[in-house]
A = this chain, B = another copy of it.
Amino acid sequence: MDFQSSLAKLEGLDFKGLYQDDFFLTWDKSEDEIRAVLAVADALRALRENNKSCRIFDSGLGISLFRDNSTRTRFSYASACNFLGLEEQVFDEGKSQVAHGETVMETANMISFMADVIGIRDDMYIGKGHTYMKAFSEYVQMGYKEGVLEQRPTVVSLQCDIDHPTQSTADLLHLVHEFGGLENLKGKKLAMTWAYSPSYGKPLSVPQGMIGLMSRFGMDIVLAHPEGYDTMQEPRDVAAKFAAESGGSFRVTNSMEDAFDGADIVCPKSWAPFAAMEERTELYGNGDTAGIKELEQRLLAQNAQHKDWTTTEELMKKTKDGKGLYMHPLPADITGVSCKEGEVAESVFDRYRVPMYKEASNKPYAIAAMIFLMKQADPQGKLQQLWESAPARWAH
């Protein structure tokens, strides 16, 4: 991650569309824009490693709105904001007047008086999260136009019901680093597969985000899951289209072995069936507590029929030369560690622990890169200027 070579990767790319925009779905961004995010993430990492302050804001707020628990993403977002000069300000709906029946339009404007960025995680309910973020963005845009807000806050999805762009971008950065460049991913086989977990209702946005992004770079993507664990249709269509365009392939299988066979990269992870998540959303909407409990029991029982979908050493041997790269967005359900039976054997997890931590450590840079590109009219010029003359971040 040399600074100048990262910077050089921006040459010739067209990413002007990111300026003052939002970041919701990776597949709504052009390939050049995605490439720009990767290059800027690595450039920012190099700046930090060289103890350069990357404050492009002298003051300003980065609002966070988490509708689901989070450790990695929360700290990644807070880190990225701080790194760029923004103070994180948590919007806790429970301590607000949202319960008063306040509209999204009103909330969006009332928390954005001096907000430069709004990071939102809203992944729990199908058909809601992405819709909420788009509405939020529309309303702050309105507030900006009408003179309510001096600045137009940029909205960054920290996970919605459809995509998890900061996760998939961090994952892609990991592959770029592991394989020595985006161009080296061409022809690689990536298995995004379901795995057994004793818990219920894990988000679909992780596998969906993965296939929607990784399919753009000529890889052979296999999405594997037991029958009945389908994802949403849209990201699969996206993956198929991108794979065809980039000279790769995309297919779905119901066999974990098939997916692992010769794979360069495997990402085995539990998720809930899309149809069940739709059902749950409706049950929550109706306040049907009994129905939710019944659904949970049904899903746990369904999961329990697929305990053989687990990442064993035997299965890992089927990967390319037995050395396929195991990935996970963390935290994983590790057999015998965090649960009795889970997504992955302890020995497999342990062997890839450090790489996975590095994978996770890309996330603050991925987020910072998105914000940087959405907040800089001339990203190359600013990066070069930071490299040459930024003060030390830590004056030691």
What residues make up the interface of A, taking CB atoms closer than 8 Å to B? Answer: 45, 48-49, 53-61, 66, 69-72, 74-76, 78-79, 82-83, 85, 87-89, 91, 95-103, 105-107, 109-116, 143, 146-151, 199, 330-331, 333-334, 337-339, 353-354, 357-358, 360-361, 363-364, 375-377, 382, 391-396
- Assembly of this chain: how many copies? 3
A148–B354 CB distance below 8 A:
yes
Could you write out 10 A-B pairs with CB less than 8 Å apart? A55-B58, A57-B394, A58-B395, A70-B97, A87-B88, A102-B331, A106-B331, A109-B360, A113-B364, A146-B354
Which residues of chain B are within 8 angstroms of A48 by Cβ–Cβ distance? 114, 150
B60–A89 CB distance below 8 A:
no
A75–B395 CB distance below 8 A:
no
Query: What CA separation (Å) do A105 and B353 show in the bound complex?
Result: 10
B49–A53 CB distance below 8 A:
no
State how many angstroms separate the Cβ of A79 from the closest Cβ of chain B: 4
Query: What CA separation (Å) do A49 and B147 show in the bound complex?
Result: 10
Which residues of chain B are within 8 angstroms of A112 by Cβ–Cβ distance? 75
A114–B364 CB distance below 8 A:
yes
- Which of A89, A114, A150, A360 has most B Cβ within 10 Å? A114
A97–B59 CB distance below 8 A:
no
Contacts A69-B96, A101-B331; is A53 near B61 (CB within 8 Å)?
no
Could you say which of B59, B82, B109 contacts A55, with CB atoms under 8 Å apart? B59
B102–A338 CB distance below 8 A:
yes
State how many angstroms separate the Cβ of A195 from the closest Cβ of chain B: 15
A110–B72 CB distance below 8 A:
yes
**Given A58-B394, A101-B339, A147-B358: 6 more A-B contacts, CB < 8 Å:** A57-B393, A88-B89, A97-B331, A101-B333, A113-B360, A376-B396
Could you say which of B56, B71, B110, B382 contacts A98, with CB atoms under 8 Å apart? B71
Residue of B nearest to A148 (CB): B357
B71–A97 CB distance below 8 A:
yes
Which residues of chain B are within 8 angstroms of A101 by Cβ–Cβ distance? 331, 333-334, 337-339
